[in-house]
């Protein structure tokens, strides 16, 4: 089965690619960074998801996973939202598609994070539901996940600050953050195992949003 994954060079995207490869899927990765995966079933394309004209011509993807994203930059909306739309419209909305998964964020539910980041991820959830309606006609599912804190390089500013980290853990009911590998397993389940849930966003945040609700980051 052919799977397209964006953001495949690091973080959640890379962990997702590794899980799919381990389970025998052929994976096509798109990332602005160089290839970081050595596997004969992996094909890497170094390209910006915003650049529609340079996106590779790939046919008949069974699963499309949009994981590429940035945080607190001037490009949050153009990469997180418009980049997701570029990928999904080109490779996912077609007859024969099995599943589409978009990575949103807990901040889409709370609005507590950086303004453009929160807006971009909220847009991803709304767009996901639009796509879910369209590909249901082909028997495909489309969902999103909204991770809270995840142990990735993107979150190092708080992970490496002992005071802020303690403050975050005090406000997190399960007293932990998810690993990128755990989020990747959610993605695998929703795109491969799941056959009935569609048009849904799954909040994966160790209870931060529903049972508490806060955002902590170093002061500028």
Note whether residue 83 is domain-resident: yes
Q: Which domain holds residue 39?
A: 2-150+178-207
Number of domains present in the structure of the chain? 1
Note whether residue 213 is domain-resident: no
Note whether residue 158 is domain-resident: no
Per-residue pLDDT of the chain (220 residues; tens, 9 = 90+): 999 999 999 999 999 999 999 999 999 999 999 999 999 999 999 999 999 999 999 999 999 999 999 988 899 999 999 999 999 999 999 999 999 999 999 989 988 778 999 999 999 999 999 999 999 999 999 999 999 888 887 778 888 888 998 988 988 899 999 999 999 999 999 999 999 999 999 999 999 888 876 666 677 6
Note whether residue 14 is domain-resident: yes
Domain of 34: which CATH number? 3.40.50.720
Position 213 scores a pLDDT of 60
In sequence order, what are the residues at sequence separation of 6 or more whose Cβ sits closer than 8 angstroms to the Cβ of residue 146?
Answer: 104, 105, 106, 108, 109, 121, 125, 201, 202, 203, 204, 205
Note whether residue 156 is domain-resident: no
Note whether residue 188 is domain-resident: yes
Note whether residue 183 is domain-resident: yes
In sequence order, what are the residues at sequence separation of 6 or more whose Cβ sits closer than 8 angstroms to the Cβ of residue 137?
Answer: none
Residue with tokens 């397993």, as numbered in its chain: 185
Note whether residue 219 is domain-resident: no
CA-wise closest residue to 147 among 200, 201, 196, 99: 201
pTM over 0.95: no
């Amino acid at each position: 089965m052919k799977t397209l994954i964006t953001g495949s060079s690091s973080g959640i995207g890379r962990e997702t690619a590794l899980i799919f490869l381990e389970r025998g899927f052929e994976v096509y990765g798109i990332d602005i960074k160089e290839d970081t995966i050595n596997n004969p079933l992996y094909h890497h394309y170094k390209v910006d998801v915003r650049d529609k004209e340079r996106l590779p011509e790939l046919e008949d993807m069974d699963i499309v996973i949009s994981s590429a994203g940035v945080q607190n930059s001037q490009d949050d909306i153009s990469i997180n939202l418009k980049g997701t739309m570029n990928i999904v419209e080109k490779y996912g909305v077609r007859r024969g598609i099995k599943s589409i998964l978009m990575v949103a964020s807990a901040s889409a539910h709370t609005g507590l994070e950086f303004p453009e980041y929160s807006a971009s991820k909220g847009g991803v959830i709304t767009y996901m539901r639009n796509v879910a309606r369209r590909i249901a006609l082909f028997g495909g599912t489309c969902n999103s996940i909204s991770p809270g804190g995840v142990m990735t390089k993107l979150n190092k500013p708080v992970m490496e600050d002992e005071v802020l980290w303690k403050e975050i853990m005090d406000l997190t009911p399960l007293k932990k953050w998810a690993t990128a590998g755990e989020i990747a397993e959610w993605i695998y389940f929703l795109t491969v195992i799941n056959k009935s849930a569609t048009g849904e966003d799954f909040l994966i945040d160790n209870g931060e949003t529903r049972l508490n609700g806060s955002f902590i980051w170093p002061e500028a």
